[in-house]
Structure 1
Amino acid sequence: MKLEDLLATDATIPSLPEVVNQILVELQKEEPDLRRVNDLLTHEGGLTLRILRLVNSARYSTGTDRIGSIEVATARLGMKATRETVQAAAVGGVFKGVPGVDLVEFWRHSLDVAKIAQSLAEDLRLDPVLAFTAGLLHGTGDLILKMAMPDRPSVQPEFYTDDGRYAAQLADLGYAYPEVGAAFARKWQFPGEVVDAIHHQCEPQESPDPTLSSVLFLACWTARVHELDIDGTAMFDALPRDVAQSIGLNDVERLCDGDVIPWTPADEARDFIPGGGGTA
């Protein structure tokens, strides 16, 4: 399937849910009505649960100060972060029954990447919300490819452990999951910086502004090393030092720290999926 055909298929790339579209319209107003936003959210129980899960993740959590209501969450986030959090939380509700994918594991890994990207962004004094969002969405293109071409060998390997699928998809299809994920993020009206980071996550040097895409590259590398249980000399030898140095990340060895983030448990990822997830 050609890329233009894939992107033209509404059934393949999920559309923005209507309630999310209404919330975004409200938040784009010169003086948004936060009470209307909260009212729209409280009528979407699954979306509210996913928002609270994100807000209470490493992204916003402060010790034991957990947020239990959508009103407190949106007040603490502010308008800009509320917009991105609503969009990000909605993503977990639109990918259902992806062939061959354990969605709990997929979102557990994606949340790990998001947390690492956020941590690196804070070190570099970048926007941690943008970094977290890019990390959370970085694998959506792989889900879309698996839905569109479930029997295609180049899209079948597990997303979170196979680091050769990017090259395999380019050779087979002429494009790969980063381009597809970027198209999804663009369709869902995520910020341009997030779209660009997802698009260039495997080759950050190709981006007009490679900083955020390099953060995403490093976050993906770190999470995959953890998934594959690579440690010791093998891990240090494989460190992408050139990418880290290109954006001024001097303490690159900290990516090898087993406690670089609080790793996401399955229960946290399960709350991100309608019906608890599972393998299709």
Structure 2
Amino acid sequence: MKLEALLATETLIPSLPEGVSRVLAELQKEEPDLRRINELLSGEIGLAVRLLRLVNSARYSAGDQRIGTIEAATARLGLVATRQLVQAAAVGGAFKGVPGADMTSFWRYSLDVAKIAQSLAEELRLDKGLAFTAGLLHGTGDLVLKMAMPGRESLQPPFPTDDDRHETQRADLGYAYPEVGAAFAARWLFPDSIVEAIRHQCDPQDARDKTLASLLHLSIWSARAHELDIEGEALADAFPGDVAQAIGLADAERLRGDDVIAWTPDDEARDFS
């Protein structure tokens, strides 16, 4: 299937859910009603559970205190971050029963990428929410491709451990999951900076905003190295040092350790999916 045909097929790229649309409509008002936002979110049980998971995964809470209610979550996040995480939380509910995909494994890995991206953004004094959301969404294009072409050979290896996926898909299809994921993010009205970072996650040097795309590239590399259990000399040789240097990452060494973040357990990913 050609990229243009794929992107034109409404049934393949999930639409923004009605409940999420109502929340976002309230958030977009000149003077949003936080009480109404909380009511709308509380009425969408699956969305509320995923939102709370994301808030706690992203460590928006103070110290070790976990956030347990929607009211506490929106108060802690503020309106801008609430909008971003509501959209991100809804993504988990948009992809159900994707052919050939282990969704627990997919979201566990995606949450790891998101957490690493947030950690790097904090170090570089960038928007942590944007970085987290870009990390969480970076692989959604692969899910769309699986739904469109479930038997395609280039889509069969597990996403978290397939280090050659971008090149293989481009050779097979003429395009790959980053372009499709960017189209999905744009359709769901995510900020342009997130759309651009997802599109250029594999080639950050070509992005208009090289910093967020490079940060995402490094986060993906670190999470995938963990999935593949790469260590020692092989890990050092594979490290994209030029990308780290380009964005002035001072402590690049820590991305090559096994304690980069608190890695996501399966039960957290299972609740999200």
Instruction: Give the TM bin, normalised by the shorter chain.
Output: over 0.9
Superposed CA RMSD: 0.8
Q: What is the CA deviation profile of residues 212-255 of structure 1, one whole-angstrom value per residue up to 9, with x for unaligned ones?
A: 00000000000000001111111011111000000001221110
Q: Which amino acid letter does the alignment assign opposite residue 196 of structure 1?
A: E
Q: State the shift of 1:59 in Å.
A: 3.4
**1:139-191 CA distances to partner (integer Å, 9 max, x unpaired)?**
00000001100111112211100111101111111110000000000000001
Specify the alignment match of 1:157 in structure 2.
157
Contact 2:139 2:181 (8 Å CA) reproduced: yes
Q: When the two structures are superposed, what TM-score results if normalisation uses the length of structure 1?
A: 0.96
Q: Give the letter aligned to residue 66 of structure 2.
A: R
Q: How does 1:58-73 map to 2 (within 5 A)?
A: 58-73=58-73
Q: How many residues align?
A: 273
Secondary structure of residue in 2 paired with 1:59: coil
Report the AA paired with residue 17 of structure 1: P
1:255 aligns with 2:255: yes
Residue 199 (structure 1) aligned with residue 199 (structure 2): yes
Aligned equivalents of 2:143 and 2:126: distance in 1?
A: 28
**Where do 1:90-101 residues align within 5 Å?**
90-101=90-101
Alignment of structure 1 residues 258-269 onto 2, 5 Å = 258-269=258-269
- Is the 8 Å Cα contact of residues 58 and 132 (structure 2) preserved in structure 1? no
User: Partner residue of 2:125?
Assistant: 125
Aligned to 2:3: 3
The structure richer in helix per residue is: 2
Q: Equivalents in 1 of 2:162, 2:82: separation in Å? A: 33
**Secondary structure of 2:60's partner?**
coil
Kept in 1, the 8 Å contact 2:61–2:76? The answer is no
Alignment of 1:207-222 (within 5 A): 207-222=207-222
1:64 Cα shift?
2.5
- Corresponding residue for residue 38 of structure 1: 38
Conserved? CA contact 1:59–1:118, under 8 Å:
no
Q: Structure 1: which 5+ residue stretches go unaligned?
A: 274-280
What's the secondary structure of 1:49's corresponding residue? Answer: helix
Structure 1 position 11, deviation (Å): 0.8
**Which residue does the alignment assign to 1:183?**
183
Check the 8 A contact 2:48/2:70 in 1, yes or no.
Answer: yes
SS of the residue 1:219 aligns to: helix
Describe the SS at the equivalent of 1:93: helix
Corresponding letter in the other structure for 2:44: E
> What whole-Å deviation, never above 9, does each CA across 1:115-134 have from its counterpart, x for those lacking one?
00000111111101000000
1:63 CA drift (Å): 3.0
Shift of 1:58: 3.6
Aligned pairs for 1:129-148 (under 5 A) are 129-148=129-148
> 1:278 is matched with which residue?
none
Q: CA deviation at 1:108?
A: 0.3
Identity of aligned residues (%): 70
The 4+ residue runs of structure 1 with deviation greater than 3 A are: none
Q: For 1:58-104, what per-residue CA distance to the aligned partner results, in whole angstroms no more than 9, with x for missing partners?
A: 43133321111101110110000000010000000010111111101
Q: State the distance in 1 between where 2:2 and 2:231 align.
A: 39
Q: Secondary structure at the match of 2:12?
A: coil
Letter in 2 for 1:209: D
Question: Gaps spanning 5+ residues in structure 2: where?
Answer: none
Cα distance in 2 between the residues matched to 1:112 and 1:187 = 24
- Measure, in 2, the Cα distance between the counterparts of 1:9 and 1:34: 35
Correspondence for 1:82 = 82
Aligned residue type for 2:114 = A
Matched AA of 1:140: T
Instruction: Kindly indicate whether structure 1 or structure 2 has the higher relative contact order, using CA contacts under 8 Å at least 6 residues apart.
Output: 1
CA separation of 1:84 and 1:92: change in aligned 2, threshold 3 A: same
